[in-house]
Chains A and B, each alone.
Chain A
Amino acid sequence: MNDQSPTHDERVAGLKGLGTSRKRVEDARFTQGKGNYVDDIKMAGMVYGDFVRSQYAHARIKSVDSTAAMAIPGVIAVLLAKDLEPLGLHWMPTLAGDKQMVLADGKVLFQGQEIAFVVAEDKYALADALQLVEVDYEELPVVVDPFKAMEPGAPVLREDLAGQTKGAHGERIHHNHIFRWEMGDKPAVEAVVADADVVAEEMVYYHRTHPCPLETCGCVASMDKINGKLTLWGTFQAPHVVRTVASLLSGIPESNIRVVSPDIGGGFGNKVGVYPGYVCSIVASIVTGRPVKWIEDRMDNLMATAFARDYWMDGKIAATKEGKITGLWCHVTADHGAFDACADPTKFPAGFFNICTGSYDIPVAWLGVDGVYTNKAPGGVAYRCSFRVTEAAYFIERMIEVLAIKLNMDAAELRRINFIRKEQFPYHSALGWEYDSGDYHTAWAKALKAVNYDALRAEQTQRVADFKAGKTRSLMGIGLSFFTEIVGAGPIKNCDILGMGMFDSCEIRIHPTGSALARLGTISQGQGHATTFAQILATEIGIPADQIVIEEGDTDTAPYGLGTYGSRSTPVAGAATALAGRKIRAKAQMIAAYLLEVHDNDLEWDVDRFVVKGVPERFKTMKEIAYASYNQAIPGLEPGLEAVSYYDPPNMTYPFGAYICVMDIDADTGVADIRSFYALDDCGTRINPMIIEGQVHGGATEAYAIAMGQEIAYDEMGNHKTATLMDFFIPTSWETPHYTTDHTVTPSPHHPIGAKGVGESPNVGGVPAFSNAVHDAFRPFGLTQSHMPHDHWRIWRIAEQLGLHG
């Protein structure tokens, strides 16, 4: 029965395991229109809910009259804060330790805020009813600038916090102040800055933007009053956390709540948080006894669910005259909007922004972050990045450029002489992280060579000369970026969300005939987990990936996990998968030893089988072992072949990369053409190169959008100016550049398979590459810093201010 015909290599190939560009198992459904997204759900008796939203950014609500709305045939209910108050649900806790209004309680604090939740039999009656709910507002003074919000006489935004001098993260120093977060050695940095040969100082702003997945947020809540069970389908990047929050808020036992994330049409951080729509849908289902569907429209999405960034980063970087960095000082004014609804691990109110020393060996550093309330939408999510890492990478990669200008040095060389050296890993950063592994010099040298950096600089020099001579109106920018990410939150000892440790999980069942089912606590939003986790497992347990089904997103079946965001799926759930697989293999070894009548230690693993050492013709395949585990009594062993692993990572992982963008800029119109974009990523062990490449293309395109035009903008009255895709910049295939991808491999020493995660690297590293290219084009003319987004008019303004328009 032992088939010896396939060779070792054939057996490896047949697994489609680690390192293969396995085609995605998800795609047959998606390409034929057979995805199952939340808005595709239709249930008997289902009704629809939607919000009446505030027209004003700051106003007292004097009254709400729903009489006319209720008179429309088909309208079932209009819920107001006062209706939720008896249930204690008119406010809800945020992930950041603040609280947030579910429905306006006396006042509104941002345009688009939820005031009333209307429920109707169909979405047409619903849309009509929304128009007829009459809200009587008394306008209040608006603050959209976080610096003005901190002035002594600034309007009080959060009256509910009156007199509270302590917040979730310590002292509040002003009525619009949320927290101060400090770390590092301030006196030491100040001493270094005072004595340094050179100090570069700059304010770097990373503007407000939005993850804007193509599918908006939504849910269907269904309370079955007979068995007391609540089922909630929705766009949740962390379904188990939603279940826990729903239980804590509603008092329904967690065992009676089932949360399901069906297919999700992109998340990018937008779908991590808990939104008023979810709470109101649940309440409405409890009240009406019917399933309630709530789906945002695009304007709702851009106006009210979680934004990203909005960090004012004030920096000082000190160096010797040779360019060796001696210290970094950074103060951030963080605009959180009306409620602090950041989706960060609880103890990190500014996320992992303290990775802001970047890829450089900086002996001393200090960081202070002040969170501030303004009349803007709440949020502060990690838009395709680990918590605030994008902001940190942008800050340090701008500061390096500013320092290079000050030193009159080449910015590539300045980076090179300050990189953490290979032999310094594990490296302890001045702001408290332990970088696991890296080889920055090798990656940087490879990148510079690949783009022919010296030739580009020579071409740029010529271009500048031609420009000055009036031969061209086009400038050329070379955008450099070297980034280190911190992903895979995280060790339970310092990372939790609402008290839930940020472990993740995998549960595996091997079926008698040798195929398998694995369930995880994560949830794919396009990352291809059903494909890649099967690959990890295939290599671990020798069952072909094609015979391993991956399930996620149903809290009734999946083991508890903290979800997918912050590039944590591979570092955490991927590790859990490998370790659960190893438990399977350990038991399989005992079974094989029994079957082969040898001692466990006499066996060795060979791709998909255990072989008796030195006797290659004596072996048992996993398939045979799986069958035996169910049909043979094996002394000392329970029947079956299953395992579960809950993985608490010992450390984060630290992917890194080198990105270089070459851009031609029309000085007269501000139009920038991306000539080339080179992306070298080191994400440790590569599970599926095809998927990695796809992630890099996608993340770099998001970076392109953010750097070159995408923003959430408000006017001084707090009116949202960018609420449709006409104005919120999402590039088409026509504007989007072509990418060249490359890699080095520096495995994580502490991850079971050495993988580090990659989904967010291109956004983290891409934004500085694009932005630095714009800056670099104007560096020869005296530009030091100009804030993003670099849309046409802002680039034009740089040229105008530098006197380049004659």
Chain B
Amino acid sequence: MKKLHIELTINGKAMETLAEPRELLIHVLRERLGLTGPHIGCETSHCGACTVDLNGKSVKSCTMFAAQANGATITTIEGIAGPDGMHVLQESFREHHGLQCGYCTPGMITRAWRLLQENPTPTEEDVRFGMAGNLCRCTGYQNIVKAILAAATEMNSAKEAAQ
């Protein structure tokens, strides 16, 4: 099948590649563009390990063809940290032991990053509901939830301090 010319803006950088129409976004990210942060876990859109941010929304990149994403703006886990170092969420996951094997972590943090933009002051229930598209086999979620809530608090105080 003839390859398509795919253009994406990923983590603030314009990128392009050729890909077969059937190449999944996760495959193109990982194998053609070298972004191996997002992972493949279930391949049926249940686990969320492949979560990336596409045009301002969390999506599962294993259930989307790269062709469908053509022209999109994407943020992956590699683009979450700022020039000054780790993002508050990344620090918070470490501080609260929100990860163990690390395999779900990129999808988890990428989703949490968007969740806190959608709802900057979530309750524990909001976090548990908002993160339900991401499976973790190691942590039992308790410390992930704690890390996200703590990050929200910290981001809000930083915002207040700045105002």
Contact = CB atoms under 8 A, between A and B. Distances in A.
Interface string B135-163: 11111111111000000000000000000
A35 B40 CA distance: 13
Contacts of B89: 31
Nearest to A265: B103
B139 A697 contact: yes
**Contact-residue size bin, chain B (C-beta under 8 Å from the other chain):** 35 or more
Interface in B11-50: 20, 22-23, 27, 30-31, 35-44, 46-47, 49
B81 A32 contact: yes
Given A32-B78, A697-B143, A736-B141, A215 B43 contact: no
Given A32-B77, A694-B143, A265 B39 contact: yes
Interface in A266-320: 266, 268, 297-298
A515 interface: no
Contacts of A40: 30, 36
A39 interface: yes
Interface stretch (A109-117, A201-209, A525-533): A525-533
Interface string B95-122: 1010111111110010000000000000
A124 B20 contact: yes
Contacts of B97: 23-24, 690-691, 693-694
A264 B101 contact: yes
Interface in A202-260: 212-215
A485 B123 CA distance: 37
Contact of A725 (B39, B44, B145): B44
A694 B139 contact: yes
Contact of B101 (A526, A690, A699, A732): A526
Interface in A725-771: 725-726, 730, 732-734, 736, 738-739
B54 interface: no
B138 A124 contact: no
B127 interface: yes
Given A697-B139, A700-B140, A726 B46 contact: yes
B35 to A, nearest CB: 8
A730 B135 contact: yes
B5 interface: no
Given A27-B94, A214-B137, A298-B41, A733 B144 contact: yes
Nearest to B44: A724
Nearest to B80: A32
A701 B129 CA distance: 17
Residue of A39, A42, A124, A265 with most partner-chain B CB within 10 A: A265
A26 interface: yes
A27 B93 contact: yes
Contacts of B23: 124
Contacts of A726: 44, 46
B105 A698 contact: no
A781 interface: no
Given A28-B94, A214-B47, A33 B37 contact: yes
A465 B80 CA distance: 55
A575 to B, nearest CB: 23
B86 A266 contact: no
Nearest to B78: A33
A30 B23 CA distance: 26
A33 B106 contact: yes
A28 B77 CA distance: 12
Interface string B74-89: 0011101100001001
Contacts of A34: 37
B85 to A, nearest CB: 9
Contacts of A525: 101
A551 interface: no
A361 interface: no
Contact of B100 (A23, A527, A732): A527
A34 B109 CA distance: 13
Nearest to A263: B102
A389 to B, nearest CB: 20
B139 A698 contact: yes
Contact of A214 (B41, B93, B109, B142): B41
B93 A31 contact: yes
B10 interface: no
A29 interface: yes
Nearest to B40: A39
Given A214-B41, A698-B138, A726-B46, A31 B99 contact: yes
Contacts of A739: 140, 142
A264 B131 CA distance: 23
Contacts of A31: 77, 86, 89-90, 93-94, 99, 102, 105, 109
Pick the most buried of A30, A33, A702: most chain B CB atoms within 10 A of its CB: A33
A39 to B, nearest CB: 7
A37 interface: yes
B132 interface: yes
Nearest to B103: A265
A573 B43 CA distance: 36
Contacts of A736: 140-142
Contact of B94 (A24, A691, A694, A698): A24
Contacts of A24: 94, 97
Contact of B140 (A37, A124, A297, A698): A698
Contacts of A35: 37, 102-103, 105-106
A266 B136 CA distance: 10
Contact of B137 (A27, A32, A213, A693): A213
Contacts of B38: 33
A693 B146 CA distance: 13
Contacts of B22: 124
B31 A265 contact: no
Contacts of A694: 97, 100, 138-139, 143
A32 B86 contact: yes
A212 B46 CA distance: 13
Contacts of B39: 37, 39, 214-215, 265
Contact of A702 (B90, B109, B137): B137
Nearest to B90: A31
Nearest to A21: B97
Interface in A688-735: 690-691, 693-694, 697-702, 724-726, 730, 732-734
B41 A732 contact: no
A705 to B, nearest CB: 9
A690 B146 CA distance: 13
Nearest to A705: B137
A700 B39 CA distance: 25
Contacts of A725: 42, 44, 46-47, 135
A40 to B, nearest CB: 4
Interface string A431-456: 00000000000000000000000000
B52 to A, nearest CB: 11
Interface string A149-189: 00000000000000000000000000000000000000000
Contacts of A263: 101-102
B86 A214 contact: no
22 contacts: A24-B94, A27-B99, A27-B102, A28-B94, A31-B99, A32-B86, A33-B76, A33-B106, A37-B103, A213-B101, A263-B101, A298-B41, A298-B44, A526-B102, A528-B100, A693-B143, A694-B138, A697-B142, A702-B137, A725-B46, A732-B132, A734-B128
Given A30-B99, A732-B135, 8 more contacts: A24-B97, A32-B80, A32-B86, A35-B102, A215-B103, A265-B102, A701-B139, A701-B141
Interface of B: 20, 22-23, 27, 30-31, 35-44, 46-47, 49, 76-78, 80-81, 86, 89-90, 93-95, 97, 99-106, 109, 127-129, 131-145
Interface of A: 23-24, 26-35, 37, 39-40, 42, 123-124, 212-215, 263-266, 268, 297-298, 525-528, 690-691, 693-694, 697-702, 724-726, 730, 732-734, 736, 738-739
The 5 closest A-B pairs by CB, nearest first: A33-B37, A526-B101, A265-B103, A30-B102, A697-B140
